Chain A
Amino acid sequence: MNELIEIVGLTKAYDASHIAVNNVSLTLPRGKIIGLLGPNGSGKTTLIKMLNGLLTPTQGSIRIGGQPVGVETKAHVAYLPDRTYLSGNKKVTQILDFFCDFYADFSRERAVGMLQSLGVDPNARMGTLSKGTKEKVQLILVMSREADLYILDEPIAGVDPAARDYILRTILNNYDPNATVLISTHLIGDVEQVLDEVIFMRYGHLVLYTSVDNIRERHGKSVDAYFREVFAC
């Protein structure tokens, strides 16, 4: 089965006048790196939170690997939230212990290798690391799982261009033809080369789901330029 995510008629209304995700239907395959793009407030993070079971849909359904979102799917979804959730008092090694306990698909070896290549001291406490290094550690934790679906919410927003390159390289180096990576970002130009496909969202609606090269072929411009045109203020 090549379909990984099946979203049907998905809606999240915080109240009657505030509909964050509005009747979105979308089927996403395995083996792709997909950009989830949209201006601020377009519903990206709300959609991601529903995929992770952190928010309950008002209407509609999500299936990941054929299963409704729940304990089963969480075991196969690796999620990088848009904010830090790791305790600053913990050492990096303690967090590795924690991830080993928590996720059956976590590879300590892979994580240690990536930390080493970045020169992060495993005995450092999280709180003593710079913001960019902290973000890298979190990404390493997420990418060290052998998941079916990796959901990265704004993984490159807070880091310098060199760290950005490292993050994108990490995503490419861990590419698995059976898994899909969903990356939400508004820094489209930086990620465009690594994406297969893009999803455009606006006001909670799905505007477009197509491949990067389709947009370039049809419109003769980059996804970044096309995005600016579609979402021009």
Chain B
Amino acid sequence: MAWVLEDGRPIYAQLVERLQVQIVSGAYPPGGKLPSVRELAAVAAVNPNTMQKAFAELEKSGLIITQGTNGRVVTEDERLIRGSKRRLARRHADAYFAGMEGLGYTRAQAADFLRAAEGKGEAEDE
């Protein structure tokens, strides 16, 4: 199925994030083989050159490794994968805080709210 992409941001950057998520979530496990640029571009229904650019970016960060004619594999460096996971998590946290600040919460209040929401399944107003 075609990947659903956002309008306002470069496509290759969104492909990088999608692939990062698939790597840190284990959908592509450490040391596992990745599909070819062509295959993945066809699955995602995106331009192969754009997918190539996303792969190049992930290679630069070390998350994926090119093995000559053997294709590409996910790194086995778990520290690198954990680091990437934290950065992605950080982005979710920032987005949450930004949303809550838009509603007039301070960061501390937003954090409390989240803890309360996690405890009760549903948060109540203070």
Contact = CB atoms under 8 A, between A and B. Distances in A.
B56 interface: no
Interface in A16-61: 31-33
A175 B48 contact: yes
Nearest to B42: A172
A213 B11 contact: yes
B38 interface: yes
Contacts of A95: none
Interface stretch (A63-71, A135-143, A216-224): A216-224
B8 A221 contact: yes
Interface residues of B, number: 20
Main secondary structure of the interface of B (DSSP, over half): helix
Given A172-B41, A217-B10, A225-B7, A165 B2 contact: yes
Given A172-B42, A175-B38, A193-B2, A32 B49 contact: yes
Interface residues of A, number: 23
For the residues of A in contact with B, the DSSP-based class is helix
Interface centre among A172, A173, A221 (most CB of B within 10 A): A172
B84 interface: no
Contacts, number: 57
A196 B2 CA distance: 17
B45 interface: yes
A75 interface: no
Interface string A190-221: 00111110000000000000001100110011
Contacts of B5: 193
B65 to A, nearest CB: 22
A165 B45 contact: yes
Interface in B47-94: 47-50, 53
Contacts of A195: 47
B12 interface: yes
A33 B8 contact: no
Interface of A: 31-33, 165, 168-169, 172-173, 175, 192-196, 212-213, 216-217, 220-222, 224-225
